[in-house]
């Protein structure tokens, strides 16, 4: 059974790798020191510091395991890849116009792991209704997107 691929930009991959390195090389050492100090208080049955350190250790180990699993399944999104066919691809920055509201929006299309609609340059997932509808389309195309608030139509204004 093939595992699900996780699409990431090179930038996001580096962030995850840095986080993993920090957890393994810094946080583990810090928690070990907390555990050593808490154990020195002898009575572990009623030792709040020991319990807190063990809980923190468990959370760090879960995050390390999760990051290692994600990094095994990464496929890098080639940002600003070939625009020869002028079609929307993952990693591209797309400006669209809501036809009804006459409002323009600019998004970067990324994998679901790094989507962030509140970022300075909002990043939408290729799995989101808008992101999925835009993939493979060209500048000038109109896409229809079904959303909880109803049907929306967007015109592709530019690709970068």
Q: Distance (Å, rounded) from C-alpha 62 to C-alpha 67?
A: 9
Walk me through the domains of the chain, giving residue ranges and CATH numbers: 6-76 (1.10.287.180), 93-159 (3.10.50.30)
95 burial level (CB within 10 Å; 0-12, 13-18, 19+): middle
- Each of the 160 residues of the chain gets a pLDDT tens digit; together they read 346 888 898 889 999 999 999 999 999 999 999 888 877 767 666 677 888 888 999 999 999 999 999 999 998 987 655 555 689 999 999 999 999 999 999 999 999 889 999 999 999 999 999 999 999 999 999 999 998 778 999 999 999 8
Q: Distance (Å, rounded) from C-alpha 10 to C-alpha 84?
A: 22
In eight-state DSSP terms, residue 138 is: B
Predicted TM-score of the model (pTM): 0.73
Q: Distance (Å, rounded) from C-alpha 147 to C-alpha 102?
A: 18
């Amino acid at each position: 059974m093939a595992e699900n691929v996780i699409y990431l930009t090179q930038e996001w991959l580096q962030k995850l790798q840095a986080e993993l390195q920090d957890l393994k090389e810094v946080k583990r050492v810090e928690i070990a020191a907390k555990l050593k100090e808490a154990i020195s208080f002898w009575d572990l049955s009623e030792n709040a510091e020991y319990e807190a350190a063990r809980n923190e250790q468990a959370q760090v180990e879960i995050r390390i395991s999760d990051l290692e699993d994600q990094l095994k399944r990464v496929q890098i999104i080639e940002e600003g890849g070939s625009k020869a066919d002028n079609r929307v691809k993952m990693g591209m920055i797309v400006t669209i116009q809501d036809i009804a509201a006459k409002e323009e929006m600019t998004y970067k299309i990324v994998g679901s792991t790094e989507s962030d609609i509140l970022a300075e340059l909002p990043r939408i997932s290729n799995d989101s209704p808008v992101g999925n509808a835009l993939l493979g389309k060209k500048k000038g195309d109109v896409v229809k997107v079904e959303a909880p608030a109803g049907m929306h139509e967007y015109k592709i204004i530019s690709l970068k």
